[in-house]
Structure 1
């Protein structure tokens, strides 16, 4: 696989400018977007020496699902903007890499069709203004084989993007834009509900019978409240810098959320992860796995399912290489002692 910057540059060449800006952009002045990657780089590693790393194992499991590496595919919308095969290609590439797909509610292909191409997958949920629409999507995802739900909790309204050049949804035909929203009487009903609360975690659990993870958690008090309402996992995320600009980077928020979870549920993290070293940093801070958003879109845009598979395989191999250089033959050997004290 190309280095991340080169991969993004190639995807940019192949995408219309408005589509590239839609995927790449952050909210406000994009300070959080920039800080997500910079925050991982600020964490210095303390490798061990004279350890036998002739064999390195990156495999793990998450909520009962075995994975080749602690790297998942984050939910992102409208993959048909990136490639004609859209989420079908993403699902195949993810399956072939031995990873797990989190399918967006705003996918541009039907849930059931994507599921037929996927390996293990979770379904990302927005609580819409039309609660009946949310319930219908959850029921369909459950019937199609989703193993968990991921409630996106940080989007009561959509953050304003500085470099958006209009509404990218206008570039989508209705069969893509409304792929999973048939019967919708007005598009405003498919907007996120601003009155979503912790009680919606309970409702989603009851409606689906599936474990519910909450995505968008950046604070200990929110983490504890999510657990009180039965969350099966927490995802530390600032929506890739696309919501409240100035929100802290996920690497900076992760330790607080991990501490609040007290080991009761897995804590995952996304935002700015670009290398195996970043994966090690996340694990050393207490995460069980990371999720990739934009890198998957760039891989999809450049080479469809093969591009997605290559991105995931590269990060798995880079994680294995980083483990070996750190003197750690297994993921379970990664602990907080891998990180140097933070600089004042």
Structure 2
């Protein structure tokens, strides 16, 4: 049983009340008119289940395997910067709580905490990377991540430029110390020629990242089946269906709407992950029922981070409690059972 069945749904308002207005706006807002961001939550709520009955649900298992390694739960934390603007412990609080929950944490390349300290928490973590026009400028950052124990690289491909936002009043950069981000880059990197985000990303970058780091590469920001196939052909071990939380291209399609198409396109060749508007354990089950191998939470853990490590730990517990309850009510003992919830099985005639 959860401690408070509505606690998760109240996290956004808790964050709004506690954070400086520009910081909250940075976390919550979408690009331009915010259409993609505002639609995301409702698209998961529209996913309906076809529950089984007369199933033994005494023991429910949440364990799964991502990129060939076992993990305790099928959800993780998506990458985000400025976590130390939300709470002084920032990425360290997020990492410790996520390690305790048995999940994967994806760390932004723009993080405000040294990778070495994140690695020392014992969390299983992947590096999120943007590539600059001059790829060599990313090499020191990539090497630091590998040395600190990153076990995968997540290449974000939907951000050749930063999507336009319409701020109200002061922006986050007016109130946040620049020392709270990009601490894993060499000093002066941002002033060097070629430091802008790459406008020429291509399949070759997937191969280059894999070869340089020796790690599996996940491609994040895919919304089309044909692009998913190109990613897999380029060597991606997983494809991450994401519209960047509605923060890049406004009017982009919701991730829930295209998830099954992407999964069908890549088949058994690669895993498929998803994010975007996931706010509860029921949303996690909805994504898993559509076939996702894992679900990543973006804004929800940031809102929980206003309470530091205890807040993020409670968020994981509450999500877990909702997932387990939903699985039991649906007659599911394993995550494989959940994958069959979205559509009824064909009749089993004698």
TM-score, structure 2 normalization:
0.92
Mean alpha-carbon deviation: is it higher for 105-114 or for 328-337?
328-337
Distance 1:63 1:165 in 2: 43
Once the two structures are superposed, residues 136-178 of structure 1 have per-residue CA deviations (whole angstroms, 9 ceiling, x without a partner) of 2111111111100000010000011123545423433343234
- Mapped to 1, the partners of 2:171 and 2:186 lie a distance apart of 21
Give 1:62 deviation, angstroms.
Answer: 1.0
| 3-state secondary structure, aligned to 2:222 | coil
C-alpha distance in 2, partners of 1:187/1:39? 41
Q: Counterpart of 1:206?
A: 211
Q: What is the deviation of 1:235?
A: 0.4
- The SS at the match of 2:25 is helix
Deviating more after overlay: 97-106 vs 53-62: 53-62
Q: Distance in 1 between matches of 2:195 and 2:10?
A: 36
Closer, same or farther in 2 for the Cα pair 1:125/1:185, shift >3 Å? closer
Q: How far apart in 1 are the matches of 2:145 and 2:67? A: 17
SS of the counterpart of 1:145? Answer: coil
Could you tell me how far apart the structure 1 residues matched to 2:189 and 2:99 are? 35
Following the alignment from structure 1 to structure 2, what is the Cα–Cα distance between the partners of residues 65 and 338?
27
Match of 1:43 among 47, 65, 85: 47
**Alignment match of 2:285 (pick from 249, 265, 280):** 280
State the Cα distance separating 1:190 from its structure 2 match.
Answer: 4.3
For residues 110 and 164 of structure 1, the distance between their equivalents in structure 2, rounded to whole angstroms, comes to 32
Q: What 5-or-longer segments of structure 2 have no aligned partner?
A: 346-350
Is 2:325 the counterpart of 1:317?
no
Contact 1:53/1:328 (<8 A) preserved: yes
Residue aligned with 1:338, SS: coil
User: Which is further off, 42-51 or 169-178?
Assistant: 169-178
Which of 106, 119, 126 aligns to 1:122? It is 126
Q: Cα gap change, 1:266/1:118 in structure 2, threshold over 3 Å: closer, same or farther?
A: same
Match of 1:96 in 2: 100
Decide which of 242, 258, 261 is 2:263's aligned counterpart: 258
Once residues 148 and 321 of structure 2 are traced to their aligned partners in structure 1, the CA distance between those partners, rounded to angstroms, is 31
| Cα distance in structure 1, aligned partners of 2:114 and 2:195 | 16
Which aligned pairs between 1:96-175 and structure 2 lie closer than 5 A?
96-163=100-167, 165-175=169-179
1:34 aligns with one of 32, 38, 47: 38
Change in Cα spacing, 1:178 to 1:57, as seen in structure 2 (3 Å) is closer
Structure 1 residues 264 and 168, CA gap change in structure 2 (3 angstroms): same
Q: Distance in 2 between matches of 1:257 and 1:144?
A: 32
How many angstroms does 1:284 deviate by? 1.7
Q: Partners in 2 of 1:338 and 1:178 — Cα distance? A: 41
How many angstroms apart in 1 are the aligned matches of 2:48 and 2:106?
30
Unpaired runs of 5+ residues, structure 1, are none
Which one of the candidate residues 60, 64, 68 is aligned to 1:60? 64
Q: Is the 8 A contact 1:8 1:298 kept in 2?
A: yes
The equivalent residue for 1:294 is: 299
Question: Using the alignment, how far apart are the partners of 2:69 and 2:170 within structure 1?
Answer: 40
* TM-score scaled by length of structure 1: 0.94
Q: 1:18–1:190: structure 2 CA closer, same or farther, 3 Å change rule?
A: farther
Separation of aligned partners in 1, 2:175 and 2:293: 37
Distance 1:17 1:203, change over 3 A: same
Offset from partner CA, 1:159-208 (integer Å, 9 cap, x none) = 11123545423433343234122322544754321222221101101111
Q: CA deviation at 1:10?
A: 1.0
Q: Distance in 1 between matches of 2:196 and 2:344?
A: 44
